[in-house]
Amino acid sequence: MTVYIDEDECIGCGTCEEICPEVFKLDLDIEKAAVIMPEGGPEELIEEAIDSCPASCIYEEE
Ligand code: SF4
């Protein structure tokens, strides 16, 4: 699985980082989140972050 964020849609709320800081990191300068560990991390928390993202801009790909 590869995790990625559509940065154009990200509103910089920080929810993903709060839920799963191992994988997501909010860049405060540009107010966008980035994926810092695209190929790993706790699957359950990644799923929770995807479900909790208000902009629905976190994706997972095989
Ligand atoms: S939860 Fe979604 S909108 Fe919020 S910072 Fe993360 S990717 Fe961006």
H or E stretch including 43?
helix 43-52
CATH number at 20 reads 3.30.70.20
Minimal-distance CA residue to ligand 1 atom 2: 53
Q: Which domain holds residue 11?
A: 2-61
CB 19 within 8 A of CB 45: yes
23 CB near ligand 1 (under 6 Å): no
Centre of ligand 1 to C-alpha 41, Å, is: 17
In the chain, the number of structural domains is: 1
Band (pLDDT 50/70/90 cuts) for residue 57 is very high
State residue 38's pLDDT score.
85
Band (pLDDT 50/70/90 cuts) for residue 56 is very high
- What amino acid occupies position 36? I
Rounded Cα–Cα distance for residues 52 and 2 (Å): 18
Indicate the SS3 state at residue 47: helix
54 CB near ligand 1 (under 6 Å): yes
